[in-house]
Structure 1
Amino acid sequence: MTAVATSYHPYVGMWETADGRIRHELLPNGRYDEARGSRESAYQGRYAVSGNHIEYWDDTGFTADGDFVDDVLHHAGMVLYRRG
């Protein structure tokens, strides 16, 4: 997998749960910033997308993954929707 490196990639941008509590910002440089509730930048790291699958590696060494289905991100038991 290669990191997303262009701002026009369809998954770059903000993704959030329906209640807005969990927010993933997928940055065009292959990095992400996750906020939880009022805690901004709770987790940060890199990500890579292959097709509709995303892999996350946070800066503490934790790994996770998810899948985009019909422009909805399914990640670690959460459902995140594109903001905006």
Structure 2
Amino acid sequence: MTSNDTPHAPHPHVGMWVTADGHIRQELLPNGRYDEARGNRRSAYTGRYTVTGDHIDYVDDTGFTATGDVRDGILYHEHLVLHREDDRRAREGRRGSRG
């Protein structure tokens, strides 16, 4: 069996995005789905998303819609400000290494 489908690299915004306090964690999955945890509540919001450039349109599984924009490596999702999880950890490490 052969296929003409070429695997696509994931969009550059795919991955885990986290608020500064770590309370909200939004994972943009490579399959166009997202999963958002809030505090101890896993999968508090799930749905699909589409990306146009640095703009993200979200449609929650309940039909609720929202938008977001990535600017200078920060995801502004409605009233939330989220950073890549790895970037947040790096900042925390720098703060913890001060003497």
Please list every run of at least 4 consecutive aligned residues from structure 1 whose deviation after the TM superposition is greater than 6 angstroms.
none
What's the RMSD between the two structures over aligned residues?
1.4
5+ residue gaps in structure 2?
1-6, 87-99
Higher helix proportion (structure 1 or 2): 2
- The offset of 1:76, in angstroms, is 1.2
- Cα shift readout 1:8-59 (whole Å, capped 9, x = no counterpart): 3210000010000011100000000000000000010000000010000000
State the one-letter code of the partner of 2:35: D
Q: How many residues are aligned here?
A: 80
Which structure has the greater CA radius of gyration? Answer: 2
Q: Which residue of 1 aligns with 2:47?
A: 45
Higher strand proportion (structure 1 or 2): 1
Structure of higher RCO (CA pairs closer than 8 Å, 6+ residues apart): 1
Give the fraction of aligned pairs with identical amino acids, expressed as a percent.
Answer: 65
Structure-2 change in CA distance of 1:7 and 1:21 (3 Å): farther
